[in-house]
A and B are shown apart, each in its own frame.
Chain A
Amino acid sequence: MSEPRSPYKMRPPVLQVRVEDSMDIMIVRDTTRRAASLLGFSPAHRAQLASAAAALAELVLKTGEAHTIHLNGVVDGLKTGLQISSETPWLANFSPNNVLVALKSKMGDLVDEIILGSEESPTIVMVMWLNNSRG
């Protein structure tokens, strides 16, 4: 099972869901809501994060191979947020710019940042930061 990676310092909660079939999408959604709740996000922002994580889970499920969705807290200076990420090796042959455009078109309204990390294997990273209007 893959390890979570992030451009930010990671903090609890650290959760992961193995996505193997469509039932797992519901589990991803549920786990994301719980992780967001632990960090103090409002119900509306939990709904946004859960929808983003479910969309990512649907995407990885379409590859036909099992993947892991990681959910973890992240810190950047004084900011705390929730990161949703998954390794996406099948994206290695695609243009990172095209992938980012497609991801932002589908999920850009749901989170603050979408990053395509490419240190070892391409990894989709989405982050929503917590602020006063979101807690």
Chain B
Amino acid sequence: MALEVLLVEDSKTQAAQIKETLESVGLRVRVAYDGPDGLREAIANPPALIVLDVKLPTMDGFQVCRRLKRNPATQDIPVIMLTEKAGPKATMDGLRAGADDYIPKDIFASEHLIDTLQELGILEE
């Protein structure tokens, strides 16, 4: 059975693009459109991986990541932050929040996402 990814992304267009990338490598994808919904989904039904946007309504991705990493039910789930905020401070904020990778949404994002999925053992190389 395919591994499941929880994608937390408020933009429906971007969620559809990222979902397509993840499904193209054989993963199943559930989408949550804001931080609190993402947290509820992660706790209720822990996925193999969480792909998390930074800019989210209500609660930003850094807060979501910190809460995921503090909760024993979700702390071991790898989190990849996929974001438009790519500067040094945002990168360190994401990694300090506990993210396993911090990938800017640029033209190489899909390749980097797949490389990291392989590195984390979510996908076979």
Contacts from A to B (Cβ < 8 Å) = 26, 29-30, 33, 37, 42-44, 46-48, 51-52, 54-55, 106-107, 109-110
Contacts and interface: CB of A to CB of B under 8 A. Distances in A.
B103 interface: yes
Contacts of B80: 43
A29 B106 contact: yes
**Interface majority SS on B: helix, strand, loop or mixed?**
mixed
23 contacts: A26-B106, A26-B107, A29-B106, A30-B108, A33-B112, A33-B115, A42-B119, A43-B100, A43-B101, A43-B115, A43-B119, A44-B101, A44-B102, A47-B91, A47-B95, A47-B101, A47-B102, A48-B91, A48-B92, A51-B87, A51-B92, A52-B88, A109-B88
Contacts of B119: 37, 42-43
A69 to B, nearest CB: 15
Interface in B89-105: 91-92, 94-95, 99-104
